[in-house]
Amino acid sequence: MLKKHLYPPSKRVGWPLLLPLFLQLLISFPTFAQTRYTISGTITDRASGEHLIGATIRDLKSGKGTVTNTFGFYSLTLPSDSAIIAITYIGYKPEAFSVLLQKNVVQNVGMGENSVLKEVEVVGQRYERVEERVQMGRIDIPIQQIKNVPA
């Protein structure tokens, strides 16, 4: 009696061919994983300690950036281990610093106010434009003529 196979020979997979392909795929996985570095922290007002909402944080090397949330918190993931971070916010002096990153770096920054205005002068001007109203054509019809018109 002939031995029956579970799968016919045409559907069997050649393990000698698949094993090297599988090993090569397994070895190449670490090359796909890139090391990512994260810098995070809070941005506050140096004088009052209040959180600055919507401050812009940007890495000048990679061009990646983010903004702070309602608690002044930011988190930025970068591809390289060194970065030049620039922080800007309206009404505050821009801050910039260089940092060497490990896996996770926490960098809290206090920003100082830019020059404060002592006096503001507001000037308003009013221009008037005169419009001439052109009167439409008008005909005066006496009531007697209207009554005489046949209905």
Tens digit of pLDDT for each residue in 23-75? 777 776 655 556 778 889 999 998 899 999 999 999 998 889 999 999 999 99
Query: At 53, which CATH number?
Result: 2.60.40.10
pLDDT at 101: 79
Is 91 a domain residue?
A: yes
Is 116 a domain residue?
A: no
Q: How many domains does the chain have?
A: 1
Cα–Cα nearest to 50, from 118, 117, 112:
112
Instruction: Please indicate, yes or no, whether the overall pTM of this predicted structure exceeds 0.85.
Output: no
